[in-house]
Chain A
């Protein structure tokens, strides 16, 4: 058995490499964003074998993983202000979750750009993407200047515990149960990101129809397993109009699901839901292979947060009714895509949405492409770690 890595030394080495490097924070960020842009545009391609292994371990079709990562890279390539360099950067460990690939990339790069030495404990289902990115960025950044290291130490191993004990801060992605356990075991160190999901508000059925392609993307990327995946669409309109729009959206979702696929892990739950709909005479639109299902419900149902292409559409009279529908799951809200009429501004929606707990409010099609400095869960990571 190999000896436990000396994480103190590794953190120190990563911090020194960044500090002593001639690469400024702005250039460091630019190098990464160039790579993200190249990946989004297809100038640089992820190896097929890597994608295939990633898709298999994450239980998603290859085409879905490819499309999802491209969208994420597009978001990460958006220009952002260079974070202020931190005077006394403390070691940060990032625990990646296995629900979607690449989840640790943005926080790792953002924190490293500010000077933090970062070690990522990768998820067992996503062991190759970050190492590949770190290897690829070496053409632009000298070795270790990236200030990020990654390993796949098992969750309960001595190595992992040693890493988490050595780190001053732990950015953790995972289930609510995992986060709770970590907060108990590493009290005061955890910045946790647990279970979250996203929704859409469409001001009218017409707008819903105008944005069907973009909304299908928001729903299906990462097989609806990510925190920015849309699970429910709230539509302002009569039940009759909403049903008509849902039928159109169901067709679009099915067509896109046929192109990029969805995971199959939730099929039994989907079929159980369809049985429920048959019993209740609920209107739904299902693809023949059940890869996508759109159901028109009177109320939002937390029990039907299923994923893998399962979307609830709920008619409402006004966006002010959102809190009443979502009151049991406020702690899980992450993103909201809003299709508002041109003569209205987001400002009407922004403040109430942030107060409700949404940390990303944007236009349809943009949900899954947050910028590198997106304040996930409302937390500006660099500032947050500086203040602790």
Chain B
């Protein structure tokens, strides 16, 4: 855990205002212009704070000749490449003041990136409110099966923390975690599914896409989840054993659990973000939807200049919940944004293992 360091009063005021925004803002504001104005105000204030206290970020801003005094809107805030989290510490303060450090997936040749957080407060608030809105608007508590990382077993996994918070907040006492560094506990997961399939209460399965696919391939158990049973997957699934399309993946998973494909929800996030996109039947947007404190623009892949709505480019996210790191992140994921709905495109982004699915792949590979 981090040691207490100097925290400016400015930071505390800003963090409180953003936390309030995360907790209070309507997902469908009655006054969109006012919501946009407030987002812009908070984003510029956060940039001003990060520009002062985040030295690595300040260095990049200086190289680009951008400062809080030279920009007017949140779209102008300089973005940091997510890959740069491998090479520098983006944190407002000394790194040893960070309360948590989340690691991105590394490989033999690629070192992991690190996302430093002074506290988990904003990440937790953001994750739980988004999840409840997107995935559980009809039920507050239900039995949950986790086929993915959890905080206790994977302390450096940001997804692991999110899964744990969801279980704490929404899980019935019969909820179970059947994934560990040793891999999936197939027998326990199968027994859990058989027990709960017989009931009438809807259940929730939280999983990385790769773990879910692995379970479907290896388990002989075929169950029919109770009505309104749902699955949330994240991270991509194209592993070494099977390459398939997203629709084929959905069909296989839905068939294995006896649900309609529309009850298979998808989360899109990354270690460097504190907020997430969701695509669920409840949002019914035909793409992925962000909470009001997360915005995305597509950028021209060559000049990285923002593109108009509907044009495909590399995605740049602006996440107010990233208080002590960097709020503007440039990814290499491609897609377009139309009417605030994100559509991933280009290469089959949802198929390529990302982040947590790479972690799952590593766990599954080591335990084959």
- Most B-side CB within 10 Å, residue of A268, A269, A276, A329: A268
CA–CA, A280 and B88, complex, Å: 8
CA–CA, A63 and B119, complex, Å: 54
Residues from chain A with Cβ under 8 Å of B330 in the complex = 268, 272
Residues from chain A with Cβ under 8 Å of B304 in the complex = 268, 271
Residues from chain A with Cβ under 8 Å of B30 in the complex = none
- A-B CB contact pairs (8 Å), 14 listed: A177-B240, A267-B302, A268-B304, A268-B332, A272-B81, A272-B84, A272-B330, A272-B332, A276-B84, A278-B60, A278-B63, A279-B59, A280-B87, A303-B109
Judged by a CB distance under 8 angstroms, whether B83 is at the interface is yes
Number of chain A interface residues as a range: 10 to 19
Judged by a CB distance under 8 angstroms, whether B199 is at the interface is no
- Report if A275-B302 is in contact (Cβ < 8 Å); known contacts: A268-B314, A303-B109, A303-B110: no
Q: Which of B97-133 contact A (CB under 8 A)?
A: 108-111
Q: Which of B158-205 contact A (CB under 8 A)?
A: none
| Nearest neighbor of A332 in chain B, beta-carbon distance | B109
Q: Which of A211-269 contact B (CB under 8 A)?
A: 264, 267-269
- Most A-side CB within 10 Å, residue of B59, B60, B109: B109
Query: Are A275 and B332 in contact, with the CB atoms below 8 A?
Result: no
Residues from chain A with Cβ under 8 Å of B108 in the complex = 328
Judged by a CB distance under 8 angstroms, whether A302 is at the interface is yes
Of the candidates B59, B110, B301, the one whose C-beta lies within 8 Å of that of A268 is: B301
CA–CA, A280 and B56, complex, Å: 10
Counting from the closest, the 9 A-B pairs by CB-CB distance are A272-B81, A272-B83, A279-B88, A302-B109, A276-B87, A267-B302, A278-B63, A268-B332, A275-B81
Judged by a CB distance under 8 angstroms, whether B80 is at the interface is yes
- Most A-side CB within 10 Å, residue of B83, B240, B314: B83
- Count, A-B residue pairs, CB within 8 A: 49
| Nearest neighbor of A302 in chain B, beta-carbon distance | B109
Number of chain B interface residues as a range: 20 to 34
CA–CA, A280 and B302, complex, Å: 23
Residues from chain B with Cβ under 8 Å of A268 in the complex = 301, 304, 314, 330, 332
Expressed in whole angstroms, the minimum distance between the Cβ of B288 and any Cβ of chain A is 20
Residues from chain B with Cβ under 8 Å of A271 in the complex = 81, 304
Residues of A at under 8 Å CB distance from B? 177, 264, 267-269, 271-272, 275-276, 278-280, 290, 302-303, 328-329
- Report if A275-B80 is in contact (Cβ < 8 Å); known contacts: A268-B314, A328-B109: yes
Expressed in whole angstroms, the minimum distance between the Cβ of A143 and any Cβ of chain B is 39
Query: Are B110 and A279 in contact, with the CB atoms below 8 A?
Result: no
CA–CA, A264 and B314, complex, Å: 13
| Nearest neighbor of B110 in chain A, beta-carbon distance | A303
Residues from chain A with Cβ under 8 Å of B302 in the complex = 264, 267, 290
- Most B-side CB within 10 Å, residue of A264, A275, A329: A275
Expressed in whole angstroms, the minimum distance between the Cβ of A337 and any Cβ of chain B is 24
CA–CA, A196 and B80, complex, Å: 31
Query: Are B109 and A269 in contact, with the CB atoms below 8 A?
Result: no
Expressed in whole angstroms, the minimum distance between the Cβ of B365 and any Cβ of chain A is 13
Residues from chain A with Cβ under 8 Å of B110 in the complex = 303
Residues from chain B with Cβ under 8 Å of A272 in the complex = 81, 83-84, 330, 332
Query: Are A264 and B301 in contact, with the CB atoms below 8 A?
Result: yes
CA–CA, A221 and B202, complex, Å: 59
Query: Are A275 and B301 in contact, with the CB atoms below 8 A?
Result: no
Expressed in whole angstroms, the minimum distance between the Cβ of A66 and any Cβ of chain B is 22
CA–CA, A329 and B108, complex, Å: 11
